[in-house]
């Protein structure tokens, strides 16, 4: 195995005076989804690290905002900042998340962020 | 209490997390990742923070629709007008793994009420809101708010009608959130300073609504002890 080649200071240097996630702006390329798109959260491995909540896995949501570009937490946790992605703020119906959620309040929602690789078209 | 009683410290040991923090911190200093001076500077910076800038941001937005638009569009830029520079004010000049530089202001409407939680840990917009309250960090709040938001809000004394959509915001990635509640009735003609006073920390997390005359966080109901001390 070759030695890891990441510069441990790289990320901090890059973000100094600009901010994180602002320092990754423009690196993700074209966004796969747009506001209003119906998406589904992929149930991908949470081995090692993830920030995609388990309670959202496999469920449908609507994209409400393209928030910023950043390496996904799954990579960044291991100091890999090479694969910058779009981050999406998506909106779930509470009724979809929790089957027992009261019908009286079926309009209630939950918003959270998911990286592009965690989503697929619904 | 008997005359022979010797006062003992209330807390006589540090928690495992405190031991862990000490060990990691000392290792990091030994390895040269940061210095003791860096650590002191960071700690002192953290102690200067509080919720007042966020309260002022909301008050300004209530008075200025253009500024409100900016808040919703670009949180860090809007923060500059209340004296908070998300990037350069931090001693690191770039944030930390738990203090990213991306603020979103979630504006309530008559039909939508936002409330913020971080189910993964306890992410909180500290540069503009200060340290999080103890309850915000508890597994109890984090686990229950996403699933039973109305019940949890009711425990805070906030009962919302069926017409309102409760929107829980789970702060799981790099965005940090504050809630911009609706301007309450009875504040017509108020100045920015007056309005700032009623936007409490709890209003900014979303577990309370601003009200004329209410200038501090609600007292939590404490059930009286069945066998109180010295009964």
CA distances for B33 relative to A47, A116, A118, B26, B27, angstroms: 27, 32, 32, 10, 9
pLDDT band at A43 (very low <50, low <70, confident <90, very high): very high
> What's the pLDDT score for residue B33?
83
Q: What is the pLDDT of residue A92?
A: 98
* Residue A109 at interface with chain B, using a CB cutoff of 8 Å: yes
Res A15: pLDDT: 86
**How many angstroms separate the CA atoms of A17 and A31, rounded?**
26
Q: Give A97's pLDDT tier (boundaries 50, 70, 90).
A: very high
In this prediction, residue A106 carries a pLDDT of 95
Give the whole-number percent of chain B exceeding pLDDT 70. Answer: 95
* Residue B28 at interface with chain A, using a CB cutoff of 8 Å: no
Question: The domain A10-121: what is its CATH number?
Answer: 2.30.30.50
Model confidence pLDDT, tens digit, residues B47-69? 999 999 999 999 999 999 999 99
Report percent pLDDT > 70 for chain A: 92
Q: Is B91 part of the contact surface with chain A (CB cutoff 8 Å)?
A: no
Secondary structure class of A43 (helix, strand, coil): coil
Tens of pLDDT along A68-78? 999 999 998 88
Tell me: pLDDT of A3 over 70: no
Question: What is residue A80's predicted lDDT score, i.e. its pLDDT?
Answer: 87
Residue-range domains of chain B with CATH: 18-46 (no CATH), 50-205 (3.90.330.10)
Domain ranges of chain A: 10-121
- Does residue A113 surpass a pLDDT of 80? yes
Q: How many CB pairs under 8 A join A and B?
A: 104
Q: Is the CB of B104 inside 8 Å of chain A's CB atoms?
A: yes
Q: Is the pLDDT of residue B227 over 90?
A: no
pLDDT over threshold 80, residue A101: yes
> Do you find a cis peptide bond into A21, omega within 30 degrees of 0?
yes
B225 pLDDT higher than 60: yes
Q: Which of A47-51, A98-102, B96-100 has the lowest mean pLDDT?
A: B96-100
Assess contact for B199 and B54: CB atoms under 8 A.
yes
Asked whether the predicted pLDDT for residue B8 surpasses 90, the reply is no
pLDDT in tens, B10-29: 666 788 888 999 999 999 99
Asked if B149 lies within 8 A of A94 by C-beta distance, the reply is yes
What's the average model confidence in pLDDT over B215-230?
80
Instruction: Report chain A residues whose CB lies below 8 A from the CB of B170.
Output: 53, 110-112
Calculate the CA dihedral of residues B159, B169, B201, A67 and round it to 10 degrees. -150
pLDDT the model gives residue B12: 61
Q: Are B159 and B19 in contact (CB under 8 A)?
A: no
pLDDT for B228 = 81
Strand A60-70, strand A38-41: pairing: antiparallel
B183-193 pLDDT, tens digit per residue, is: 999 999 999 99
In this predicted structure, which of A25-29, A64-68, B5-9 has the lowest mean pLDDT?
Answer: B5-9
Report the residue of B170, B177, B179 to disrupt the A interface, i.e. the one with the largest count of A CBs within 10 Å. Answer: B170
Q: What is the DSSP letter of A13?
A: H
**Residue B63 Cα, gap to closest chain A Cα (Å):** 26
Instruction: Single out the residue of B73, B48, B74 nearest to residue B127, CA to CA.
Output: B48
Question: Are residues B166 and A68, on separate chains, in Cβ contact within 8 Å?
Answer: no
Q: For residue B121, is pLDDT > 70?
A: yes
């Amino acid at each position: 195995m070759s030695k890891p080649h990441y510069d441990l200071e790289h990320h901090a240097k890059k973000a100094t005076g600009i901010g994180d996630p602002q320092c990754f702006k423009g690196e993700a390329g074209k966004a796969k989804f747009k506001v209003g798109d119906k998406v589904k959260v992929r149930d991908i491995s949470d081995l090692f690290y993830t920030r995609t909540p388990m309670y959202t896995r496999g469920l449908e949501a609507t994209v409400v905002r393209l928030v910023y570009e950043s390496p996904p937490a799954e990579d960044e946790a291991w100091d890999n900042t090479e694969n910058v992605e779009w981050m999406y703020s998506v909106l779930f119906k509470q009724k979809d998340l929790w089957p027992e959620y009261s019908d009286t309040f079926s309009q209630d929602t939950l918003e959270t962020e998911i990286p592009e690789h965690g989503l697929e078209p619904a | 209490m008997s005359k022979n009683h010797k006062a003992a410290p209330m807390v006589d040991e540090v928690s495992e997390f405190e031991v862990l923090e000490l060990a990691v911190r000392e290792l990091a200093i030994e390895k040269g990742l940061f210095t003791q001076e860096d650590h002191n500077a960071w700690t002192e910076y953290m102690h200067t923070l509080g919720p007042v800038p966020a309260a002022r941001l909301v008050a300004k937005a209530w008075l200025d629709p253009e500024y409100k638009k900016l808040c919703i569009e670009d949180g860090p830029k809007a923060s500059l007008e209340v004296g908070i520079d998300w990037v350069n004010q931090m001693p690191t000049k770039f944030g930390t793994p738990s203090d990213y530089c991306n603020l979103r202001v979630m504006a309530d409407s008559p039909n939508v009420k936002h409330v913020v939680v971080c189910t993964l840990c306890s992410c909180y917009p500290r540069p503009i809101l200060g340290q999080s309250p103890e309850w915000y960090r508890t597994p109890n709040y984090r686990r229950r708010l996403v699933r039973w938001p109305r019940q949890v809000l009711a425990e805070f004394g906030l009962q919302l009608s069926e017409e309102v959509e409760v929107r829980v915001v789970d702060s799981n990635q790099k965005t940090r959130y504050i809630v911009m509640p609706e301007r309450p009735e009875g504040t017509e003609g108020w100045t920015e300073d007056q309005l700032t006073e009623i936007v409490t920390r709890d209003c900014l997390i979303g577990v309370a609504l601003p009200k004329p005359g209410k200038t501090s966080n609600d007292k939590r109901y404490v059930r009286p002890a069945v066998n109180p001390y010295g009964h």
